[in-house]
Structure 1
């Protein structure tokens, strides 16, 4: 391998340009002077001239086994795409590790029930290019013991509508129950909103320079990240201070860290996301802000959304943790708390489905199930404790082995006397005998 990498096409063009100018009597002291003189000529060179020197550079790279750069149809190099995918994969692994460490640390400290978690949701009119036109945001704080503690809700006026996106903004405002952005008044103060959010996140530890992570649904990660990017760019703040993580990952690790029985929690992270997407409290009245309640769009309000997400997590975790549910904190005010708790106790007390007359066992105890079939004592005890159901017998619609030949009657013998003769007559159906006489068949 050479000490220096192979030259590019412009280098070979400069060498040729320097030689051509030398023949004309023009001399350059170094390659820097050649670059200054040859640069404008290279930019205006026709494609045929460029191709000549690009081929020379390509041959030089092949000579030294330098890999050729490959690009997609949109002009993006494959190496850049691979780097982005690698960075996204590393970021996802770091997020998962950070959430696990957060939950595990609080479990060890014994503060998992009092640790505050922050949920966030945003509503955006549309996506204009690479940025989202944000119209509303809410940050909510809760923990398992106290339930929902407080929230910071803000309806945002983004100001001027991006050129070409007026129709999209109009559709978004109708869908989300938001007013159209008012261009006649100054837009919302993003610097003030950012400062308020930072103070809100520091409530638990005001002396710490590390802000707690913010959790949101997977489809809102990019809009929330872009919202912080917009605010930080105006406030000259470092956006890397904010960690935006997926809520389903927190839900999965949180409920599995406090479970005490094998049938509690989620065996897979995807089940936590499914539970959040069910949105069991979606149509509960009174959860939204005053603006959305008056417009009958409470379901779309970000304040209502984060409350419903928190209620879903608390509704699943509190019975496992043995925490007394408080109306308005762990569940909405108008829910029958006693009825819900009694149902959950019944579910916790139920046994698994029985298999072959034996109490249901988990998959990890499959060897015990196999051994129990050889134990006559266990088999006898299981049969005495399990209530046997009557076996269902299928009754066919017709009796089997029925001889239908006995019920079939033989057809009677028929003669000519059973059929009337056709006679000639007027009108329709007089037969063919009357017509044969009119035909002159002998001629």
Structure 2
């Protein structure tokens, strides 16, 4: 609240005497008159100022960059409100699905983008590629949309930055010499149509989830929407890590398994990206360039596989290759009796199978992959009489006992050298070896020995 201050009699006189002059000129002229003025005339202005107050404007506090602190605080409060609204909306979607029993059938849309360049302030990103996938816990990846983008140009002065970024990541090149759709409005309409076909859209489109920087995705969508002249709705983009954490907490409650202690656990699974180098899930361009991990289509598919790996087992859902897991994956390794969610995975090596069966077929497949084990087992005469079902602990004990037949365990065991290696008998040598002195090094060595025997000092001792 601004402070109040009593008016000055002299300033009141100066403003009344010279109302049309600037305050500094009025004060200089009124100063001489005020000094020559009698006390009775001054009393008139003193009485006038006794009950007169004027407001002193409060100085605005600024940051080190010159931005008002009030503006910074206002932006901070707006961000807090947006984040709260986002979390509330995600929780409402998941909780309503849980209460109605159709949580496994809710469709979530994942989006990933690539860009050519960004402006100096990082507010605009030139689109290069976009990928969207429709995913549900029951059906896995139901459908995918992908398109390369050719913006025909990049911001002036950003050609080198575009070339460097492209070579380091997606390898799409530098516009306009790139592949892709040039009609940005058509691309945005295609994205809206894809979302409508795979979701029950009412008056509002469902949010899109990404594990990238939301700022980049929002900027790319805004550039695509710029040719629509604000006729089409704005798509909301939310972080995938929030959805994963809320989903995992809910499925753990339904499946009566251990819930995540914090969202850092679920974030670690997304950051780990175990399917990063999975083939045949990217677009044809990136598969040929052998840089599939940067493909937007590959990203949205890998995120879906990661969520399936940690959520479907809580709801006892079957995982279908090509939808929940890669096509060439072993389905048996994904069929657990309990959730494979374990907080220790962040600090300890991940054991892919917690409960699985070991039968004769497993032993035969092991021998096929390691032919040398066939002979070693015959020599050792050991047989595998284990039960059909084994836990992880009993499996580790088995490998400790059978280290001789396990090539990976055998690599870690360092063999102690034989005792004979440390006892070397070099015999006794009383005189120099006889070296032929006819020519070459033998003649030179003979001369050195003769000189050493006949010289003084060290040579004399050497000769003795």
Distance change >3 Å, CA 427–CA 267, structure 1 → 2: closer
Deviations 1:36-66 (A, max 9, x none): xxxxxxxxxxxxxxxxxxxxxxxxxx96354
CA–CA distance in structure 2, aligned partners of residues 15 and 103 of structure 1: 71
Given the alignment, which residue of 99, 103, 120 partners 1:108?
99
1:30-429 equivalence runs, <5 A? 64=55, 66-129=57-120, 130-175=123-168, 176-182=170-176, 188-205=182-199, 208-217=202-211, 219-237=212-230, 241-259=234-252, 260=254, 263-341=257-335, 344-345=336-337, 428=457
CA–CA distance in structure 1, aligned partners of residues 248 and 163 of structure 2: 41
CA–CA distance in structure 1, aligned partners of residues 179 and 305 of structure 2: 37
State the secondary structure of the residue aligned to 1:97: helix
State the secondary structure of the residue aligned to 2:102: coil
Moved more, 206-215 or 115-124: 206-215
Deviations 1:54-82 (A, max 9, x none): xxxxxxxx963543112233332111111
Q: TM-score, normalised by structure 2?
A: 0.60
Distance change >3 Å, CA 277–CA 17, structure 1 → 2: farther
Q: Give the count of matched residue pairs.
A: 311
What stretches of structure 1 of length at least 5 have no aligned partner?
Answer: 3-13, 22-61, 353-386, 390-425, 430-443
Distance change >3 Å, CA 127–CA 15, structure 1 → 2: farther
Distance change >3 Å, CA 283–CA 349, structure 1 → 2: closer
Partner of 2:371 in structure 1? none
What stretches of structure 2 of length at least 5 have no aligned partner?
Answer: 3-14, 23-52, 345-393, 398-454, 459-464
Distance change >3 Å, CA 20–CA 222, structure 1 → 2: same
| Contact preservation (8 Å) 1:103, 1:253 | yes
Deviations 1:365-399 (A, max 9, x none): xxxxxxxxxxxxxxxxxxxxxx9x9xxxxxxxxxx
Q: Give the CA deviation at 1:18.
A: 7.1
Matched, 1:19 2:11: no
State the secondary structure of the residue aligned to 2:105: coil
